[in-house]
Structure formats: structure tokens, C-alpha cells
Amino acid sequence: MQRRKAVAALVWFLCGMAFAQTGEKQGSQQIAELGTCTLASGQVILDCRIGYRTFGTLNSERSNVVIVPTWLNGRSEDLLPLFGPSQSPQRLVDTSRFFGVAFDAFGDGISSSPSNDKRQPGTAFPQFTTEDMVRAQYRVLAEVLKVRHVHAAVGLSLGGHQVFAWAVLHPEFIDLAVPIVGSPQATNFDRLSKQIVIDAIESDPQYKGGHYQKEPVLKLANEIGVQMLTTPLYRNAEAPRSQYREWLAKIEAPQRQDANDRVWQARAILTQDVLHGRSTEDVARSLPVRFLVIVAAEDRMVTPGPALAWAKAVGAETYVSHGECAHLIMSCDAAAVQERVERFLSAPVSRSADR
């Protein structure tokens, strides 16, 4: 029996080192084929695939994993500046110490999405939640990367929503959680902001009920999204009044993301709620995960109240950014965020289920 356990442990270690040390895999796009993913609704994604990228080296104890899920309409390629072995303006995960894993969320056009699914394309694709995203990512760690424990989960915006879901769904699997401009439960204002964008997309004549042949431009939805992301001061500083037309043209320009993908991800945020009828205090205090909660005071995309209430319930360290960039917190307050996140990830870990 002892020999069998030793062999199993060696296999786990060698698999992890193979992933960590293969040069061409450092930060490159990878796809995990998971077969069927069953969603909370009971529906299934038939050919379920999750995109991911890895950075750094998995240590011998397999205890230095930091995961970072993508934000709304983001992809893992957008997360590249957050990882690195050397200090940089945007880095949050020091890959000279940690093994970083960036995840593509459902609906980003890389992982299973309405835009890329061949058996369930477009409007036939099932609606997912942030918790469905996390369950699939857990399978990548456990089944593909052979990771049995995670040091920390860090995420911005929709990535922050997923961090709260990680803590609730897999509290014994992660030690630290850092939601940045994320929320455990979408407020009515948060939901309204997503509903307006959804309505703007669905009411566009080019959208055609999701059955478009050519990608719609969606000028109105793009304008609304830009207006909600920051404060007026931040937007007013982007261009002089005399260049309004040029500035507006950039805002209205077609986005990278497929229109159905945008709708499906926005709907996932509409249902964001890791509390499921329980109080913030009951849920937050029941978890052994330690939190650093970072919010933006002027955030119009994710109002900070629920995240701050969570932090208060568990006595978590908090940082409230007052930068003019608001939800785009890394655009004007990256240094403050970076300092707190890197210090938090480097501190000794202590876990307690008793609050």
C-alpha cells in the first residue's frame, strides 16, 4: 500500500512538472477538452472546452498555484501583463514564486461559447452561470493539470465574481481569495447595467435575434459599455472637446467579441449570486478561505456594497480605490492594487473555519 501511494504521488508530481517545464507551454494558449459539462440548470455543454495558459513552475509540494479567471468580454491573452517573474506596472502574480493559471471563461470565444460551438451553435448554446465557469475550471486543474490545491484565486470584474464562486464552491481547495471590483451578488444597479447592454444588442436590427450571418456593429451597446466603465472625469480627459467625433468613432467601433457571446456572459452576471438565499454573514463566515477585497468607490459596473459587506463579515483586508478610472482600476490605480495583492499572496497562510 505504501509503495502504491508513493508511485501515485510520483505520477502526480511528474505530470505537474511536465506542464510547468515545457517551454512552448509557458503562457501559450492551451485547450482542455472536458467532454460533457453539466450546468447548474441541468443543461449540458456537449463538447466542453476550456482555454487556459500557465506561467512559472509548479513547486515540489504543489502548493504555489495562483489562478486568474478572465473579466467580462476578456480572454486569457488579455491577462498576460498580470503574470511575470520581474516587477512590471501591471503584474499581480510573481511567476518566479508562483505557478500561474489564467482561465478563459465560458462565452469568451476561446472556451465553449455560442460563437465557436459546432454542435450547439449560436442561440442553441445553453445559458451558463459564473458557478458553471468555476466548476469547469476546477476540472481543468484536477483532471488535466493534476493540481490538488490552490494557493490563491485572483480576478477582476467577472473574474472577481468567479473568485467569490471559487471560495464558496471549493473552500477546501483554495487558501486565499482576491476579488478585485467583483461581487458575491449582483445588485439591482449591476443587473440594470447589464440588462441595458443586452437590450441594446437584442434590439439592434443587425442582431436578428441572434441569427446574424455578419457580425453586427452594435454601436449603441458599445457606447453604453464605455459610459458605464469609468467616471466622467476619466472619459473627459481622453480627448479634447474638438475631437469628439474621432473619439466617438473609436467607442462605436466593432468589438472583438461575438454578439451572442457578449449576451451570454452578461446574462451570467445577471444571475451572479453565491449566497443562494443565505445571508452574507452566514456564507462568508462559514468559509476557511482568507480574503483581500478590492473595490472602486465610483464603480458603475459592479457596485462595491456587497463585496464590502462580505469583507466586513469576515474582517478581511480591504482597499477602496478612489481613482477616476473606477471599474477600470488597473488603468489608474495599478500600483496600489499591485502592492496589496503581491503582499497578500506572499504572507503566510492561516486557515480557520471559525469566525
Which of 117, 190, 327, 333 is an active site residue?
327
> Could you tell me which residues come within 8 angstroms of residue 216 by beta carbon, excluding any fewer than 6 positions away?
201, 204, 206, 207, 208, 259
Cell, residue 108: 469568451
Q: Does the annotation count 299 as an active-site position?
A: yes
Contact by Cβ (8 Å): 266, 105: no
Which of 104, 108, 117, 299 is an active site residue?
299
Q: Does the annotation count 47 as an active-site position?
A: no
Which of 157, 183, 193, 321 is an active site residue?
157
Q: Give me the count of residues in the chain.
A: 355
> Could you tell me which residues come within 8 angstroms of residue 98 by beta carbon, excluding any fewer than 6 positions away?
56, 64, 65, 66, 151, 152, 345
Cell, residue 81: 501583463
Instruction: Give the start-end residues of each E strand in the chain.
Output: 30-38, 44-55, 65-69, 83-84, 93-94, 99-103, 150-156, 174-180, 290-296, 317-321
> Could you tell me which residues come within 8 angstroms of residue 63 by beta carbon, excluding any fewer than 6 positions away?
149, 151
Q: Which amino acid is at 55?
A: F
Cell, residue 118: 459546432
Burial status of residue 75 (CB atoms within 10 A of its CB: 0-12, 13-18, 19 or more): buried
Q: Does the annotation count 327 as an active-site position?
A: yes
Catalytic machinery residues: 157, 299, 327
